[in-house]
Chain A
Amino acid sequence: MSVVAPPKYLAQINDAIEFYKSVQLDFAQCAKRLHDELTESPLLKPFIHSSKYRQKDVDICAIN
């Protein structure tokens, strides 16, 4: 099910998405760096069953 934005905010939303697209890769790298920092630490390793990381996609929601 998709939702439609109120027309008066459409341009604002499109601008925000274009801006995010230009730095999306930076967010992906940010997530990976933090993920590796945490999961590779011997302090946390004994407790971790599994892990994931990702940046939010432009058109769908990535993580809750």
Chain B
Amino acid sequence: MRDKLTRKAIKAERDQKPFLITLKNLFVEIEDLAGVRLIHLHTKQMKDIDAAVRAILNEARYQLVGRPTANTWEDESRDYFKSLGMNTVGKDSKYTSVHYIILENSRTKRRCELQIRTLMEEVWGEVSHTIDYPHQTDSIACREQLKVLAGIANVGSRLVDAIFASHKDHLLRSSDIRPLTDDARTLSISPLASSDVVAVQRPKSKRRVHKNKVAKTD
């Protein structure tokens, strides 16, 4: 807190502007005195997470201050967050995280910053926070390595996105594909040799009709 106010005072003096933080506006000007962080696995979950966060806040009568801000430096992520109606900001530090400013559901409207980021982004965030925040490290090597780590975290998040997309696709396909031998068993006919056919795709509706038929017979 002292450090943050000091940096704001130094910036005000450097920019030849007045340092305007007073006891009246302290809790408006400093929005992260209370903070919550949620970690999730992959970027594309953000659409569902955003909807869930809004629904929960609405139900509990919390208020959002402005639109959420996605800190991102990569073009594809920027487009994705924009498509969710979020502001996007690029940080030189390569910091990535989605921030919501939330007004408390009480008479005293305290502000709380909600940060949402992926597990990969959390790795970069924790390393960077330890050695490069709030004051940038003097080590050029460390700064460069942090940039490399940001790239790796970004690629990691993309890979996790791809793995989950592939997994979802696999589940969808495998729910429609049954080995012929299984079908043959259900239909009470002799199964073909496994070398004859590998798999058969069949609409689900046919299967339902068959099941009904069996039930009536029984």
Contact = CB atoms under 8 A, between A and B. Distances in A.
Interface string A1-40: 1111110010011011101100000111011011101110
B27 to A, nearest CB: 8
Interface stretch (B5-13, B143-151, B201-209): B5-13
Contacts of B22: 12, 16
Interface of B: 1-7, 9-10, 12-13, 19, 21-23, 26, 30, 32-41, 45, 48-49, 52-53, 55-56, 60, 62, 95, 97, 102, 104, 106, 108, 110, 112-115, 119, 125, 129, 133-135
A47 to B, nearest CB: 5
Contact of A20 (B1, B7, B134): B1
Contacts of A30: 34, 104, 106, 110, 112
A37 to B, nearest CB: 5
Contacts of B49: 44, 47
B2 A58 contact: yes
Given A34-B104, A38-B53, A50-B39, A63 B113 contact: yes
Contacts, number: 148
Q: How large is the interface on A (under 10, 10 to 19, 20 to 34, 35 or more residues)?
A: 35 or more
B33 A16 contact: no
B55 A64 contact: no
A13 B6 contact: yes
Contacts of B32: 56, 62-63
B53 A44 contact: yes
A28 to B, nearest CB: 7
10 contacts: A4-B6, A13-B9, A15-B23, A20-B26, A27-B112, A30-B112, A31-B35, A52-B37, A53-B37, A54-B35
B114 A47 contact: no
